[in-house]
Amino acid sequence: MTETFYDVLRRQGISRRSFLKFCSLTATSLGLDSSYAAEIAKAMETKPRTPVIWLEGLECTCCSESFIRSAHPLTKDVVLSMMSLDYHVTLMAAAGHQAEKQLEEIKKKYKGNYILAVEGNPPLNEDGMFCIEGGRPFVEILKETAADAKAVIAWGACASYGCVQAAKPNPTRATPIDKVISGKPIVKVPGCPPIAEVMTGVVTYMLTFDRIPELDRQGRPKMFYGQRIHDKCYRRPHFDAGQFVEQWDDENARKGYCLYKMGCKGPTTYNACSTVRWNDGVSFPIQSGHGCIGCSEEGFWDKGSFYDRVTDIKQFGVESNADKVGGTAAAVAGAAVAVHAAASALKKAKKSDNDKVTGGN
């Protein structure tokens, strides 16, 4: 089987022009410069198609729902044609014994060569009896399928951290997949659900470059989870000016002030919501007037109310990324460091060519 992505796309009637457009869109969404578009195109034309098996354990299917709503229709076609052909219980046509047989076949045929994407997690109490698929505990299927996978993607807060089913007292002992799978590279893509473009971006990166993206210490792709919601929040200037919504629906709420005092978790949450946004880039929670609930952070269900103020802000600043939290967030001291800090802060503040929209002055 040496069919390439490009072959599959052409068979589905996608023109070369659309294909190249997809490649440059993908490069952009991955934060790569445009010269990578050619590299992506080359990879897709020459590399054999990598099958993806998508397993669902204890979950709500919101990751799948998010995934199939990826903004660009072509992205959707491309990525879904890479995946739905293989195994995804919600999306594929087969069901019952036929579906299970297909799973077995893919595992055998592409042994050591497929990517395993996991939505949800396995409950371990009572020997895994709280989640049975095809008559067997999900944890068994997960372990078996992971054993022959090339790499594993943990979709969403469930697979990455446990999410609501693992919240205290966690009666079924729902367990993040990295505690069950060993010896395989695991990419965590947390969020409840993760952003569609982030999901397709991660998959496309892995399929085209045949390696996992650069991860932070918590196993998340740096390209999407490298900054806090607060860092790129359009309401951040209100924070800087000490302007806060003091209670719901007050005058300040109508003016769009900072939601920190109403429990916004933006200062401690690493995700791309404030830049990529949701629903084809239309909006994100803060833009619609509600604070961030921190759904891409570990154990967010056990961190108190969504409306409690964040108080455990670690000693780090805008330059930091998740790697430095709890580690060695060195405070800036001394003249040389001050000059460096100043230069990088100014560079970040400077308007880039991309966002020159209005004139003024």
In the complex, the residues that contact another protein under the rule CB under 8 A are: 33-35, 230, 236-237, 239-244, 255-256, 260-261, 267, 309-320, 329-335, 337-339, 341-343, 345-346, 348-351, 355-356, 358-361
Nearest to 235 by CA among 213, 259, 211, 217: 259
What is the nearest approach in angstroms of another protein to the Cβ of residue 341?
5
- Would you put residue 289 in left (φ > 0), alpha (ψ -120 to 50) or beta? left
CA distance linking residue 220 with residue 224, whole number of Å: 8
Of residues 136 and 307, the one with the C-beta less far from another protein:
307
Of residues 125 and 234, the one with the C-beta less far from another protein:
234
CA distance linking residue 52 with residue 78, whole number of Å: 13
What is the nearest approach in angstroms of another protein to the Cβ of residue 227?
13
Of residues 168 and 356, the one with the C-beta less far from another protein:
356
What is the nearest approach in angstroms of another protein to the Cβ of residue 41?
17
- The number of CA neighbours under 13 Å toward the Cβ of 332 is 15
Nearest to 192 by CA among 261, 120, 260: 120
Of residues 305 and 311, the one with the C-beta less far from another protein:
311
What is the nearest approach in angstroms of another protein to the Cβ of residue 192?
25
What is the nearest approach in angstroms of another protein to the Cβ of residue 358?
6
Task: Please list, in sequence order, all residues whose beta carbon lies within 8 angstroms of the beta carbon of residue 64, skipping any fewer than 6 positions away.
Answer: 54, 56, 88, 90, 91, 119
Of residues 129 and 338, the one with the C-beta less far from another protein:
338
What is the nearest approach in angstroms of another protein to the Cβ of residue 225?
19
What is the nearest approach in angstroms of another protein to the Cβ of residue 298?
20
CA distance linking residue 193 with residue 235, whole number of Å: 23
Task: Please list, in sequence order, all residues whose beta carbon lies within 8 angstroms of the beta carbon of residue 295, skipping any fewer than 6 positions away.
Answer: 157, 190, 191, 192, 269
What is the nearest approach in angstroms of another protein to the Cβ of residue 27?
12
List the structure tokens of 185. Answer: 């590279």
Cα 144–Cα 221–Cα 205 angle in degrees, nearest 5 = 75
What is the nearest approach in angstroms of another protein to the Cβ of residue 334?
7
CA distance linking residue 233 with residue 266, whole number of Å: 8
Of residues 281 and 317, the one with the C-beta less far from another protein:
317
Of residues 21 and 261, the one with the C-beta less far from another protein:
261
Of residues 133 and 319, the one with the C-beta less far from another protein:
319
Contact 134, 164 (CB under 8 A): no
Cα-Cα end-to-end distance for the chain: 61
**How many C-beta atoms surround the C-beta of residue 357 within 10 A?**
6
List the structure tokens of 9. Answer: 């796309």
- Bridge partners (DSSP) listed for residue 221: 215
SS3 (DSSP) at 155 = strand
Q: CB-based burial of residue 63 (10 Å sphere; 0-12 exposed, 13-18 middle, 19+ buried)?
A: buried
Of residues 171 and 237, the one with the C-beta less far from another protein:
237
